[in-house]
């Protein structure tokens, strides 16, 4: 599209006649660009924070935040894992079980391919 003097004149006349509309349009463009930059920046910051929080964890790790607490029984179905419980670690193999008390601090980390069943006793 070729812009000549007549086109520029028409644009300027339209802008000066409709000042409120022009101002609102400019504000809308500014606000849209601002929000786009803010959302992209916030998303990138959140992604970086999550990566730093999970740095150093195994690929096949998972976290579970229970809504209710109670005793739990872990049954190893296949493979091998390390159970951390109250500051001590214990290796659990297929066919073995481990009991967690209510409010006990614990973790389960697979050292090899690992399948388990979890039985929760909620009160």
81: left (phi over 0), alpha (psi -120 to 50) or beta: beta
Q: Distances in Å between the alpha carbon of 28 and those of 14, 33, 93, 100?
A: 18, 9, 62, 57
| Helix (H/G/I), strand (E/B), else coil: 34 | helix
Task: Report the percent of the chain where pLDDT is more than 90.
Answer: 20
Task: Report the percent of the chain where pLDDT is more than 70.
Answer: 85
CA-to-CA distance for 49 and 53, rounded, in angstroms? 6
> Residue for token digits 């601002």?
34
Query: How do residues 79-117 score in pLDDT, each as one tens digit?
Result: 888 888 888 888 998 999 888 888 777 888 887 788 888
Query: For residue 1, what pLDDT band results from cuts at 50, 70 and 90?
Result: low
Query: For residue 31, what pLDDT band results from cuts at 50, 70 and 90?
Result: very high
């Amino acid at each position: 599209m070729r812009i000549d003097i007549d086109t520029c004149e028409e644009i300027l006349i339209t802008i000066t006649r409709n000042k409120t509309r022009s101002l609102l349009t400019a504000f809308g463009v500014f606000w849209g660009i601002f929000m786009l930059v803010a959302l992209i920046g916030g998303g990138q910051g959140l992604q970086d924070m999550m990566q730093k929080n999970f740095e150093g964890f195994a690929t096949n790790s998972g976290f579970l935040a229970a809504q209710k607490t109670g005793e739990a029984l872990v049954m190893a179905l296949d493979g091998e894992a390390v159970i951390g419980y109250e500051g001590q670690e214990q290796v659990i193999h297929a066919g073995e079980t481990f009991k967690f008390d209510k409010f006990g601090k614990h973790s389960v980390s697979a050292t090899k391919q690992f399948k388990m069943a979890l039985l929760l006793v909620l009160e």
